[in-house]
Structure 1
Amino acid sequence: MGPDLDDIAELLEDFKTELRRTNKSKGTIDTYSRDVGYFVAFLASQEPPIAPTAAALTRDNIGTYIEDTLNRTNKRTGKPVTPEYAHRQYRSLQQFCRYLEYKAIIGVNPFDKMNPPTVPEKPIPVPPIESLRKLLSVCEGTDFESRRDTAIIRLMADIGPRINEIAPLDLDALDFHENTALVIGKGRRPRNLPFGDKTRIALRRYLRARAQHPQAANDNPALWLGKRGRMTGSGIQQMLDRRAEQAGIGHIHPHQLRHFFAHNWLANGGQEQDLMMLAGWRSRQMLARYARATAETRAQDAHRKARLGDQL
């Protein structure tokens, strides 16, 4: 007996093939696959279980799934699931259904006139420069990890990449003639990001230490090396957690360094259009979101510089 071509698992394989053909990143494909799988598990948990076929992709079933997701508890943290997580589930299923509608596998898209869960806006705190100086101070030293961690922190604060842009960097991403790092952003869009002199020095010192690392043998192309080879995004996060604890500054998320970069660019008179290019944003919506977190501080600084009251 052949496969059930209407089965969601079979349709998901076709969807993944389409994503690969359109050059979507592995991270995007894995996220969509995992989230559709969660929906299938939800269907199986119902009383009675709902058959995981295209016919189960209804507005009611998806709405109930999103509501159930919002009421769940994260098994790892014991805390309620975040609205951001439920929003991601919604978007993943929406992309899957959009593909099925395009292929005429479903006649009606269940997401038509359906609204995603609201995600409350929570500004990400920008770490003060004093905290980042403390973070760098605990990385002082000539050993491999000190050199590597200093280079990572300086590069992230200097050019503001996403964590999944900096972790996969290879050695040839660095250009010391132009002092730039080539990162691949969302949609596989490349950006050449310029870095400053202190970052250049930190990178050169790290590369000299890296040349002696056991994992550097056999022409390993990975820029950031750990004990078992290329560092992952998770490995960089763990490094930041460890260094932040040593510095006594509390938790530092990689995205806070991206916010630090964006805030300082604007605070020092950088143009918004240039920031959009450097940060890899195609919409001003993201610019507004990042700028809003520290807009009050910049406005206060601008007022102090203008000295409007002193002109009376």
Structure 2
Amino acid sequence: MSPSAASKRVTVPELDDLRELLPDWRRHLRSINRASSTITSYLTVGEEFVDFLVTQGMPTSASVITREHVEHYIVHLQERPNRRTGKPLSAAQVAKHYRSLQQLFRWLDEIEGEITVNPFTKMKAPHVPEQPVPVLTDDELRALLGTCKGRSFEDRRDTALIRFLTDSGPRVGEIAPLELGNLDFDTDVADVLGKGGRWRAIPFGNKTGEAMRRYIRARARHPKASTTDRVWIGRSGALTESGIAQIIRRRGEQAGIMGLHPHMFRHTFAHVFLADGGQEQDLMRLAGWRSREMVGRYGASAADQRAREAHRRAALGDRV
């Protein structure tokens, strides 16, 4: 072989190279009905991990990657500035990378048998300091609704959207694809497709039902009404998750609530439900959770407040 031919030779990755395996992992995630957003997030982390290994001259063959390689990557993340803000990644963002890679190597180990030693064995996830998400007060919710008191299409849509988020606490990824046929106004229930491809029925109250019906009538007259069965529409047609988030952020700014995002309604819903004496098991069914850990995570947003209120109701010291 001539020197020039040798210099042009392309190195073919080994069969157990992560660059070869990531597309198969994507197929596996699709086969078990993981949400498209979850798959995208997992694959992005996997690709960034591979890029790090290549840049650092570390092996990319799954069977050769060790705990030390993963730990080097975690330290790199903790020191690397966020590309968008220039600030270091938060502890929660680093932990997200850890959990995503943990899922990748669990698949390589338990499903595919591509590795004999899982580098995550006996590893501990990076510590994430508890930072409860603030919940919305009644006054803030009233202020939000006050920003869309008019009779325009946008006002009626946004009123219905805010009330629906407040009343039922769905994920934004569950309401963006919501279709007209998923709404039952006889029982005031919406059928949403949650994580893991699991359907569940979430109820809503009278005021939300009234706002939704008012919006549905306005929607029927909208120029884009016939282009989609999706409930939430705008100038260009069906609203995406990002579009819904932009509406909520804009209404929040109008109400003087900076940084408002749809997930704050989910935390608020969980807090109010528990504060009013709701049972954890019922909250799990309504929110679409399978783990009690999620109840604790969302309930932490205002756990101290609930504890103080419970103490006042008990009034133990005043009994004697």
Quickly name the TM-score band, shorter chain normalised.
Answer: over 0.9
Counterpart position of 1:166: 175
Counterpart position of 2:41: 31
Alpha-carbon distance, 1:77 to partner: 1.8
Contact conserved, 1:151 with 1:206, CA < 8 A, in 2?
Answer: yes
Counterpart position of 1:262: 270
Alpha-carbon distance, 1:126 to partner: 0.9
Counterpart position of 1:297: 305
Secondary structure of 1:293's aligned partner: helix
**Structure 2 counterparts to residues 1-312 of structure 1, below 5 A:** 4-46=14-56, 49-55=57-63, 57-102=65-110, 103-218=112-227, 220-312=228-320
The 1:51–1:288 alpha-carbon spacing in structure 2 relative to 1, beyond 3 Å, is closer
Alpha-carbon distance, 1:306 to partner: 4.3
Tell me the TM-score normalized by structure 2.
0.90
Contact conserved, 1:50 with 1:56, CA < 8 A, in 2?
Answer: no
The 1:36–1:142 alpha-carbon spacing in structure 2 relative to 1, beyond 3 Å, is same
Q: Distance in 2 between matches of 1:156 and 1:128?
A: 14
Q: Distance in 2 between matches of 1:153 and 1:185?
A: 19
Q: Indicate the larger mover: 199-208 or 262-271.
A: 262-271
User: Displaced runs of 4+ in structure 1, greater than 4 A?
Assistant: 1-4, 306-312
Give % identity.
51
Q: Which runs of 5+ in 1 are unaligned?
A: none
Render the CA deviation track for 1:74-94: whole Å, top value 9, x for unaligned. Answer: 121222201111111111111
Secondary structure of 1:199's aligned partner: helix
The 1:3–1:211 alpha-carbon spacing in structure 2 relative to 1, beyond 3 Å, is farther
Q: Distance in 2 between matches of 1:226 and 1:289?
A: 33
Q: Distance in 2 between matches of 1:297 and 1:267?
A: 9
Tell me the TM-score normalized by structure 1.
0.93
Opposite residue 170 of structure 1, the aligned amino acid is E
